[in-house]
């Protein structure tokens, strides 16, 4: 036993070394976007039929031009596939966009007064204006007034840490699922490749998902 002990120790050291190497290798890999177990259950911003056959989930950034175009496409697709498609929006402001997190927080403040989707649409419609503005908060307050919100409450909600935490929670959800860019789209929990993250690609994915659901 004493003679074999050094060999056992060497074997254990080798095993630990290999295991550590594999762990380090995996930690440096960039994961592909993955599905959540029940993405709709944890989502704050959902519209459409709760029993829809297809769920389109977007991780978006309000300062991202492709996201603005995608918002128009998703709005059209929701109408076109009325009752068959529901939409989920999750916040994923990118660090490269200086006002993206402010915009996300503004949409969450609007959500607290029941106007998330209205603010969502307005922020994308006015993206070219506010992203270059000298006083972005003042513009957001004007948008709140335009939507009929209580502007005083809206301003207070913008400063509330819980409002910012809603944005952070979505961002962390995206990061945990391998999201790194916007828009990132999941259709029935399947991430679309970047080459299909466009109106035509989303439409094709919806059609495929509908066919799969209707197949016995």
Tell whether the model's pLDDT for residue 10 goes beyond 70: no
Look at residue 34 and give its three-state secondary structure. coil
39 is written with which tokens? Answer: 């993405």
pLDDT band (50, 70, 90) for residue 215: confident
Any domain includes 34: no
Q: Work out the average pLDDT over 150-165.
A: 98
140: in domain: yes
Length in residues, the chain: 216
Residue 75 lies inside a defined structural domain of this protein: yes
Residue 13 in domain = no
* pTM > 0.75: yes or no: yes
Q: Report pLDDT digits (tens) over 42-69.
A: 788 999 999 999 999 999 999 999 999 9
| Percentage of the chain exceeding pLDDT 90 | 78
Whether residue 6 has pLDDT greater than 70: no
Task: Please tell me the distance from the alpha carbon of residue 38 to that of residue 55, in angstroms, as a whole number.
Answer: 11
3-state DSSP call for residue 190?
A: strand
Residue 158, in any domain of the structure: yes
Q: What was the pLDDT predicted at 9?
A: 38
8 belongs to a structural domain: no
- CATH value at residue 110: 3.40.30.10
Q: How many structural domains is the chain composed of?
A: 1
C-alpha–C-alpha distance, residues 183 and 98, integer Å: 17
Query: What H or E segment, with its residue span, contains residue 31?
Result: none
Could you tell me the residue range of the domain that residue 193 belongs to?
40-214
Closest listed residue to residue 173, CA positions, set 64, 49, 88? 88
The answer to the question of residue 146 being in a domain is yes
For residue 9, being part of any structural domain is answered with no
* CA 168 from centre of chain: 11
Q: Identify which of 146, 144, 159, 43 has the alpha carbon closest to the alpha carbon of residue 102.
A: 159
């Amino acid at each position: 036993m004493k003679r074999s002990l050094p060999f056992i120790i060497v074997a254990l050291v080798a095993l630990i070394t290999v295991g550590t190497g594999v762990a380090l290798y995996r930690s440096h890999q960039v994961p592909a976007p993955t599905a959540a177990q029940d993405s709709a259950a944890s989502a704050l911003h959902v519209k459409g039929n709760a029993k829809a056959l297809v769920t389109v989930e977007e991780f978006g950034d309000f300062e991202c031009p492709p996201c603005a175009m995608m918002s128009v496409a998703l709005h059209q697709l929701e109408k076109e596939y009325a009752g068959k498609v529901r939409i989920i929006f999750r916040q994923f402001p990118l660090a490269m966009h200086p006002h993206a997190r402010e915009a996300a927080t503004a949409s969450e403040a609007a959500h607290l007064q029941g106007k998330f989707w209205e603010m969502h649409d307005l922020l994308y419609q006015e993206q070219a204006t506010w992203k270059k503005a000298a006083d972005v908060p003042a513009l957001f307050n004007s948008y709140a007034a335009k939507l009929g919100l209580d502007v005083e409450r809206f301003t207070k909600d913008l400063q509330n840490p819980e409002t910012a935490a809603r944005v952070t929670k979505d961002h962390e959800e995206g990061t945990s699922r391998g999201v790194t860019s916007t828009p990132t789209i999941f259709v029935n929990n399947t991430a679309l490749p970047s080459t299909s993250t466009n109106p035509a690609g989303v439409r094709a994915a919806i059609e495929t998902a509908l066919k799969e659901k209707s197949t016995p």
